[in-house]
Amino acid sequence: MSRPLSDQERRKQISIRGIVGAESVAELKRGFNRHLHFTLVKDRNVATPRDYYFALAHTVRDHLVGRWIRTQQYYYEKDPKRIYYLSLEFYMGRTLQNTMINLGLQNACDEAVYQLGLDMEELEEIEEDAGLGNGGLGRLAACFLDSMATLGLAAYGYGIRYEYGIFNQKIRDGWQVEEADDWLRHGNPWEKARPEYMLPVHFYGRVEHSASGAKWIDTQVVLALPYDTPVPGYMNNTVNTMRLWSARAPNDFNLRDFNVGDYIQAVLDRNLAENISRVLYPNDNFFEGKELRLKQEYFVVAATLQDIIRRFKASKFGSTDSVRTVFDSFPDQVAIQLNDTHPAMAIPELMRIFVDIEKLPWDKAWDITKRTFAYTNHTVLPEALERWPVDLVEKLLPRHLQIIYEINQRHLDHIASLFPNDVGRLRRMSLIEEGDTKRINMAHLCIVGSHAVNGVAKIHSEIVKSQVFEDFAELEPEKFQNKTNGITPQLIAEKIGEDYVRDLSQLTKLHKFVDDDLFIREVAKVKQENKVKFALYLEKEYKVKINPSSMFDVHVKRIHEYKRQLMNCLHIITMYNRIRRDPAKLFVPRTVIIGGKAAPGYHMAKMIIKLINAVAQVVNNDPVVGSKLKVIFLENYRVSLAEKVIPATDLSEQISTAGTEASGTGNMKFMLNGALTIGTMDGANVEMAEEAGEENLFIFGMRVEDVTELDRKGYNAQLYYDRLPELKQAVDQIKSGFFSPDDPNLFNDVVLGFHPSIHPSIHPSIHPSIHPSPGLGPRCTWMMLLRHGFWPLSR
């Protein structure tokens, strides 16, 4: 793969990856040696590969510092509008290579590391992923930070510095086993603790009302310690900040009021407070409703809003009239984007600050609050919508509950004035749901408390308006918008220059190459190189051998019934049966790669992983099948593994039930890396099909309207089982223990009756059989190949 570059290639690479001057290389080597000596306190006799990684990371970091300080200084002087992205997740992955690329240091670093007798790829592999996210929602937050820095916007990401990110997935005997992600064990060279900006966050207590207003008292305090991570823009000298909060117990924790006499116990109990930032909840698209999670959500919100208001007050806009800050210009200076409802408590918290502390009248505070917040909805799945029990909120955040009730009262009064005697509407639109347990509908709170609400793909935004929040859209149609998700590209293109990195629409320049055989062959060649490289990686890390000239059919994302990995599995079984039925028939050799984590409490998702591994066991060891079909379950899918597998993919599986995947971003990453897509008309697939032409994707299955109609009629799996002999055979095999001879009943409940995720849009019986892949299948006009192999996601 590392063939020598032509002069022309070299020049083009240099323009994007930075100039390799002898001076800069020498300086990098000096920096490296200085850090090895002074920072890591090692010499080359005893240094480990990890020491070398840290020495390099610190050397690269040094190049960020000046730009970081200058960018923040510039914001302080100019006071541009600040954009605050509030998120419980930032799925950043690795930082080293992205930083080198964005600073234009990649080539010089490559050269320096080479001259030092070290291997860059090996060093890069030592970095832990910052896995502070579950999937698309968290990765989107990371991409937005990158994009906003590249656009030179005064943006900040605010979240939690989880001590443990998303668990590491091990596969043992076909089952998922979770291991703690102790990502900070060796230290994190990219973060800087800022204890001088530590802030208090209050919980529990009670509310006292008096003539001077409400007072929240007798609270328990936890401190929020900020850690800052630099976010460099692409070659523009901008370095923004991601500020993540870590929970610290105050030094008098449990010692002041009670527990006197048990000093040791009081010190041990500091853990209770510090547990708030201990671990990321590993649910994707699922609401669990645990108290600790609510604490996390309020923790990030309370610390962040104090920080935002401090910064506003320090600006020229935070003027005071005699004693009080004037907040009229607040919404012009501050935009707060809520990444889903997870940080929704920011709405009552800002009201509490304005009304109880800053003594603003309610109406004024509410006007400013609404004009400050915007809310992004990420899902319409009912099991994912946050609905916090009123009792829990009352205990943890008593003043916020009162404020939410007040917001609701005024909101319902307004509805009642517009729609007299419409009790059903009031019930549907209330922030409070009555029932067994009284709950707060956090999406309703976000809609009411924001001036803009967006979905994340055209089709999803339509569903938000027409189905899930219909009453709200009827009330304020102008509030509802669409912002289709995107990904941050960063790589190297020979044919169209590097501008597309900032402006993806320039990819259309590739149009004129669709009939250029030489270009198509070049693209196919790079794809083939990526496939070989990935196959070598699998062989090295997992001792599995795959055939790099087979079609790589890849389905990687969180394991979820709605994402239909189970349907993919039925397709695999069907292909297996076809090969066995007619072994002499020509068949396109295929390697099906499925990967993704299941939430630890999600039984069905874990059974699906086990089933895929059981099917793999049978298929991969059947001599009749030979090399025609192989099934790989890819362990521990995460950002750094996505960067390896996506560029090696021929066929991208985007097969969610129509109406369930809000956008998807995996779909885009594959397409930008020259894979063909098989998918349903769901999420952003719809817009991808529009852009590339439906003839350039393999679209199949029911549309949203078909699914709605079927749900209305009632879904009866038996019908499809009876009608489709190949489906019947596959289901019967699973049920009879064909894939689990030691435990024939193991998968009974997976196919019991059978599973609703098997919507009848099973794979088309004629599945795309393209080989070798790109260029010979349907023409994908977006299909382009990035010289270097890894996918463009913020790297």
Ligand X SMILES: *Cc1c(COP(=O)(O)O)cnc(C)c1O
DSSP assignment string, 707-776: HHHHHHH---HHHHHHH-HHHHHHHHHHHHTTT-TTSTTTTHHHHTT--TT--S-PPPSS----SS-TTT
Q: Which is nearer to ligand X, 266 or 639 (CB)?
A: 639
Of 314, 459, 342, 448, the closest CA to residue 87 belongs to 342
Determine the Cα–Cα distance for residues 427 and 431; give it in Å rounded to an integer. 9
Q: Which is nearer to ligand X, 35 or 555 (CB)?
A: 555
Q: Are 152 and 232 in contact (CB under 8 A)?
A: no
Least distance from ligand X to the Cβ atom of residue 376, Å:
15
Q: Which is nearer to ligand X, 630 or 669 (CB)?
A: 669
Determine the Cα–Cα distance for residues 317 and 75; give it in Å rounded to an integer. 13
Q: Is residue 200 within a helix (H) or strand (E), and if so which, with residue range?
A: strand 199-203
Q: What Rg do the C-alpha atoms of the chain give, in angstroms?
A: 27
Least distance from ligand X to the Cβ atom of residue 282, Å:
13
Q: Which is nearer to ligand X, 242 or 793 (CB)?
A: 793
**DSSP code of 357?**
I
From the candidates 35, 400, 557, 788, give the one annotated as an active-site residue: 557
Determine the Cα–Cα distance for residues 669 and 526; give it in Å rounded to an integer. 16
Q: Which is nearer to ligand X, 390 or 456 (CB)?
A: 456
- Altogether, the residues listed in the chain come to a count of 795
Determine the Cα–Cα distance for residues 94 and 99; give it in Å rounded to an integer. 9
Of 494, 465, 463, 493, the closest CA to residue 479 belongs to 465
Widest CA span in the chain: 90
Work out the angle between the directed axes of helices 442-449 and 398-418 (0-180°, nearest 10): 70
Tell me if residue 669 is catalytic: yes
Least distance from ligand X to the Cβ atom of residue 496, Å:
24
Q: Judging by beta carbons within 10 Å of its beta carbon (0-12, 13-18, 19+), is residue 494 exposed, middle or buried?
A: middle
From the candidates 341, 379, 665, 680, give the one annotated as an active-site residue: 665
Q: Which residues on neighbouring strands pair with residue 473, listed in sequence order?
A: none
Q: Residue 29: CB partners within 8 Å, gap ≥ 6?
A: 112, 115, 116
Q: Which is nearer to ligand X, 486 or 737 (CB)?
A: 486
Q: What angle do CA 476, 661, 779 make, to 5 degrees?
A: 115
Q: Which is nearer to ligand X, 602 or 754 (CB)?
A: 602
Determine the Cα–Cα distance for residues 20 and 712; give it in Å rounded to an integer. 64
From the candidates 352, 563, 628, 638, give the one annotated as an active-site residue: 563
From the candidates 270, 378, 564, 597, give the one annotated as an active-site residue: 378
Least distance from ligand X to the Cβ atom of residue 91, Å:
7
Q: Which is nearer to ligand X, 369 or 794 (CB)?
A: 794
| Interface residues toward ligand X, by CB under 6 A | 135-136, 139, 557, 638-639, 642, 664-666, 669
Q: Which is nearer to ligand X, 664 or 775 (CB)?
A: 664
Tell me if residue 728 is catalytic: no
Query: In this structure, what is the dihedral angle of CA atoms 120, 162, 795, 178, given to the nearest 10 degrees?
Result: 70
Q: Residue 358: CB partners within 8 Å, gap ≥ 6?
A: 324, 325, 327, 365
Q: Is residue 84 within a helix (H) or strand (E), and if so which, with residue range?
A: strand 82-86
Least distance from ligand X to the Cβ atom of residue 135, Å:
4
Least distance from ligand X to the Cβ atom of residue 793, Å:
6
Least distance from ligand X to the Cβ atom of residue 143, Å:
9
Nearest residue to ligand X, scored by beta-carbon proximity: 666
Least distance from ligand X to the Cβ atom of residue 643, Å:
8
Least distance from ligand X to the Cβ atom of residue 342, Å:
17
Task: Give the residue numbers marked as catalytic.
Answer: 378, 557-558, 563, 665, 669
